[in-house]
Amino acid sequence: MTPSDWLVRLAYELEESHRYRRFKHRVWELLEDPHAPMRPYFDIFMMTVVLVSVFLLLYSVKHQVGPWAGWFEDGVVTLFVIEYLARLWVYDDVHRHVIEAYEKSELVNEPFRASPALWSAIRAKWRYMTTPLAIVDLLAILPSYRPLRILRIFLLFRLFKLFRYAQNIQEFATVFREKRLELFTLFTFLTFILLVGASAIYLFEAREEGGQIDSFFESIYWALVTLSTVGYGDITPNSAEGRLVTMVLIIGGLGVISFFTSIVVSAFQEKLGDVHDRQVATLLQKKKGYVVICGFGRVGEVVAGFLEGDHRDFVVVDDDEARVSEARRRGYLAVRGRAEELGMLRKLGVGRAAGTVLCLTGNDVANVYATLTARQLDSGIQIISRANHHGTLHKLMLAGADHALEPYKIVGLIAGEYVGQPVAFEAIHGIVMGQKDIALETVRVPRGSWLDGRPIGEVPLADFRLILFGVITPLDRESDEVRSAYDLGRLRFQFNPGADFVVVGDDLLLVFGHKYSVLRLRHRLKS
C-alpha cells in the first residue's frame, strides 16, 4: 500500500468515525461556539489564567519568585499551546480536503496524488493562522522565552488575548474594521501634518541652529506630542519661527483630535445598539416560554404592564427608536428592529424558546407578515395578533394566528352593551377587565382531594364569599343538576350547577370573588 492509499483510507475512516466527529464537535463548541453552555465558564477560566500569568511576569521584573512560578508559567504556556493547536485543528477538516481531491481524481479517472490535497489543507490552516486573533494567540505564548528581552513586549499580547474571551469587547473591535476608510483618511492627514511639522521644526530648532533637537526622530516625537495637545515640554522651541510652527501645529492638532473623537464616538454609538441587542439575546437564552411583543404602541404597553405584574418574561421589539427607549426606560428587555423580518424573530428565540408571539403594531401589513413569519418558524407557538381594519382578522387567521383581535370592534361591542344596560355594564366591566379586587377566577379541583367525587354543595362557597359561576368539565359529563351547559371545544361549561352536582379531580370551578377568597379556597382544596 502506497502512502497515498493509506492517506485516503485514513481520511475515510475519520469521516465515518462518529466518536472522532463528536469529540471534535465538543472541542469546537468549547472554543468557538458563542452559544455553548460551557462557554462562559471556559472564558472566565481562561481570563483568570491570563491575568494571573501576566501579573506573575510583571512581578518577576523586580522581584525574585520561587520555582513554582516557573512551573506555573510552563503550565500556562502548555495550556496556550494546546489551545492554539486545538483551535487550529477544529478550524476545518484536513481529511475532507483529501477526500475531495480523491473523489475529484476518481471522477476524471486520474491517479490520486497526495501532495496537492495536503497543500490545499495546509493553505486552509494557514488562512486561519494569519487571522489577527490567531496571531495574538501565538504571540501570547512567546513572552516566556526569557533570553530575548524584546519578546517581553509580547506580554501585551497575552492581555490582548483577553479579547478572545470577552465577547462584548469583540463587538467594539469591529468598530475599527467598519470605520477603516475614515480612519485611513485621518491617518493620512495626520502623517502629512506630522511630516510638515517635524520638518519645519527640524529646520528651525536643530541643535546646530541653537535649538534642542538632535535628530529627525526627535522632531517627529516633538511634533506628535504637540499635535496631540499632550505637550510634555521636554523639548520647547526657542526661535520665533519655531514658535510659529508650534502654534500652527497646535491648531492643526485640535482638528485632528476632534475628527478622531467624532469618528470613534459615532461608530461606538452605532455599535451600542448591536451590543444591547446581543445582551438581550443572551439574557433570553436562559429563559423559556417567554412572550415576544412586536410593536410597543398603546396595546403593547398595556400587555407589557400586565405581564410585568405577573412577573412573566417578555421582550419588546419595535422599529421606532422613541418607543424602544420608552420600553427600556421602564426596565423591559427591548430590541429595535422590524418584527416581520425572519432574522429578527429568530434572534429573539422564536422557533426555539419563545412561547408566545404578539403582533400588535398599528400596521396590518406588518402584523400579517410577522404572524406568517412566526408561524413559519414555529408551528406550535401561540400567536395573538391585532387587526386594525375589518377584513384583516380573516387574513391573520389564515396567516396562522391562534387569536386575532379588533380593537375598534371591541369598542363597538362595549358601546352596545353600555347603551343597553349601563348599570350592569359598569358593574361587570371592572370585574371582567381585572380592574377591581373582585375578579373571575378558575380554581382547579386537585385529584384525590376531599372534594374529588363529592357534590359541589359541600364547598362552603358562601363562607368563602365566593359566587359560583359554573364548572368546566370534560365534554362527556352530563348531569341533571345542570340546566344550561355550553361546549368550549374539548371542554364543557356547566352553568350554575345545583348543590348535588358531583365534581371530580381536574374540574375547574369558575368563581367570582375577592382574590383572597380565591386563594383561601385553593388552599382549602389542597388540604
Q: Is 524 in the site for other proteins (CB under 8 A)?
A: no
Task: Tell me which of 37, 210, 343, 422 binds other proteins, using CB under 8 A.
Answer: 422
CA atoms in the 13 A half-sphere facing the CB of 367: 30
Interactions with other proteins, residue window 232-291 (CB under 8 A): 291
Residue 148 CB contacts under 8 Å (≥ 6 apart), including other chains: none
C-beta of 240 vs 419, nearer to other proteins: 419
Q: Are 205 and 238 in contact (CB under 8 A)?
A: yes
Task: Tell me which of 493, 520, 522, 525 binds other proteins, using CB under 8 A.
Answer: 493
CA nearest 384: which of 441, 307, 459?
307
Task: Select the span of 193-201, 231-239, 261-269, 463-471 touching other proteins (CB under 8 A).
Answer: 463-471
Task: Tell me which of 216, 232, 408, 516 binds other proteins, using CB under 8 A.
Answer: 408
CA nearest 295: which of 403, 385, 356?
385
CA nearest 443: which of 426, 419, 467, 421?
467
Task: Tell me which of 389, 460, 500, 506 binds other proteins, using CB under 8 A.
Answer: 389
Task: Tell me which of 85, 159, 283, 302 binds other proteins, using CB under 8 A.
Answer: 302
Q: Is 169 in the site for other proteins (CB under 8 A)?
A: no
Strands 291-294, 356-359: parallel, antiparallel or unpaired by DSSP? Answer: parallel
Q: Is 475 in the site for other proteins (CB under 8 A)?
A: no
CB of 408 to other proteins, least distance (A): 5
State how far the Cα of 411 lies from the Cα of 273, in Å rounded to an integer.
38
Task: Select the span of 130-138, 150-158, 203-211, 486-494 touching other proteins (CB under 8 A).
Answer: 486-494
Task: Select the span of 50-58, 103-111, 197-205, 431-439 touching other proteins (CB under 8 A).
Answer: 431-439
Task: Tell me which of 255, 442, 474, 500 binds other proteins, using CB under 8 A.
Answer: 442
Q: Is 470 in the site for other proteins (CB under 8 A)?
A: yes
Task: Tell me which of 250, 498, 519, 522 binds other proteins, using CB under 8 A.
Answer: 498
Q: How many residues bind other proteins (CB under 8 A)?
A: 78
Q: At what angle do helices 155-165 and 167-178 cross, to 10 degrees?
A: 100
Please calculate the CA angle 16-17-21 and round it to the nearest 5 degrees.
105
- Contact mark string toward other proteins, 307..336, x via CB under 8 A: x--x-x------------------------
Q: Are 438 and 513 in contact (CB under 8 A)?
A: yes
State how far the Cα of 128 lies from the Cα of 114, in Å rounded to an integer.
22
C-beta of 187 vs 486, nearer to other proteins: 486
Q: Are 490 and 497 in contact (CB under 8 A)?
A: no
C-beta of 51 vs 414, nearer to other proteins: 414
Q: Is 363 in the site for other proteins (CB under 8 A)?
A: no
Q: Are 359 and 370 in contact (CB under 8 A)?
A: yes
CB of 107 to other proteins, least distance (A): 57
Please calculate the CA angle 322-174-252 and round it to the nearest 5 degrees.
90
Q: Is 299 in the site for other proteins (CB under 8 A)?
A: yes
